[in-house]
Chain A
Amino acid sequence: DGGITQSPKYLFRKEGQNVTLSCEQNLNHDAMYWYRQDPGQGLRLIYYSQIVNDFQKGDIAEGYSVSREKKESFPLTVTSAQKNPTAFYLCASSTARRGMQETQYFGPGTRLLVL
C-alpha cells in the first residue's frame, strides 16, 4: 500500500449524517484520487485533484465533496445527499510529470457502512 494511509478502516454512518474519510500520502505526489468500489464492479472515480487547491468531479461526484488544502492530504466527505453510501472507498495518488503514463498507487481503503 506504499506511502498512502487511509483512516478509519471501518466507518459507520447514521441517516442524515455527514462523514469524512481521511487520505494522506508522503510520496510527494501531485495528483490524488478517490474511487468507490462496489461488489462486481470496477472502481468508479468520485473526484480527483492534480494540484493543491484544485479538484475535478469524476463520474459519480453527486453526494460527495472534497478539499485539497495541502499536497499530502485529500479528504473525502460523504454527505447526507449520498443515498447509497455503503461501499469500499479507495484513495490513490500519482505523480503528474508524464500525465497519463503515471502509475497510481492505492491506499488500504475505508469500508463505509450505514447503520
Chain B
Amino acid sequence: AQSVAQPEDQVNVAEGNPLTVKCTYSVSGNPYLFWYVQYPNRGLQFLLKYITGDNLVKGSYGFEAEFNKSQTSFHLKKPSALVSDSALYFCAVRADTGGFKTIFGAGTRLFVKA
C-alpha cells in the first residue's frame, strides 16, 4: 500500500536560516512526488514535483527538494527562510501501480520567526 509520512507536525526556523521539511514515502513501483503549500482557508498551491531524472528538483518561491531513492525520502528545502513562508506544507505521492490516487501526508506547519 502507498503511504506518506511527514514526521514533524511543526517546524520552527528563524528568518534567514535554512529550512527543511521532511517527507518519506512507501510505494510499489515508480514514485511521483509532489510538494504543495496551503495558506489559511485556501486551497493547495503546487510547489514542485519529482518525476524522473535529476534528484534535485527546483520549484516555486526558491524551494527545492531532493529525491533520495535509497532512503525513500523527498525533503523540502530552502536556503533562506522568509516570514511569508509560514504555512502548512503537504508532501504527496503517486505511483504508476497505484491507480489514479494521490496519497497526501498529514502536513507540516512551518513557522518562520522574524
Residues of chain A at the chain B interface (Cβ within 8 Å)? 1, 4, 6, 31, 33, 35, 40-45, 48, 50, 56, 58-59, 88, 90, 92, 99-101, 103-109, 111
Q: Are B94 and A105 in contact (CB under 8 A)?
A: no
Point out the residue from B44, B51, B100, B103 that lies within 8 Å of A31, measured CB to CB. B100
Partner of A105, one of B46, B100, B106: B46
Question: In the docked arrangement, what's the CA distance between A109 and B36, Å?
Answer: 15
Interface SS of chain A: strand
B residues contacting A by CB (< 8 A) are 4, 9, 32, 34, 36, 41-46, 49, 51, 90, 92, 94-96, 98, 100-107
Which B-chain residue is minimally distant from A106 (CB atoms)?
B43
Known contacts: A100-B95, A100-B98. The answer to whether A109 contacts B41 by CB under 8 A is yes
- Provide a sorted-by-A list of 5 A–B residue pairs whose CB atoms are within 8 angstroms: A42-B104, A92-B43, A100-B100, A105-B46, A108-B42
Contact with A90, one of B44, B105, B107 (Cβ below 8 angstroms) = B44
A6-B43, A108-B42 given. 17 additional CB < 8 A pairs? Answer: A40-B106, A42-B90, A42-B103, A43-B90, A50-B100, A56-B100, A90-B43, A90-B44, A92-B44, A100-B95, A101-B49, A103-B34, A104-B34, A104-B46, A106-B43, A109-B43, A111-B41
Whole-angstrom distance between the alpha carbons of A109 and B112 in the complex?
25
- Docked pose: A12 CA to B27 CA in angstroms: 38
Q: In the docked arrangement, what's the CA distance between A4 and B51, Å?
A: 24
- A39, B30: Cα distance in complex, Å: 30
Within 8 Å CB of B32, what residues of A? 100-101
Hey, which chain B residues are within 8 Å of A4, CB to CB? Answer: 43
B96: A residues at CB distance < 8 A: 99-100
Q: B102 touching A104 by the CB < 8 A rule?
A: yes
For B98, the closest partner residue in chain A by CB is A100
Given that A103-B46, A106-B44, A108-B43 are contacting pairs, would A42 and B100 also be in contact in the complex, using a CB cutoff of 8 Å? no
Nearest CB to that of B96 among chain A residues? A100
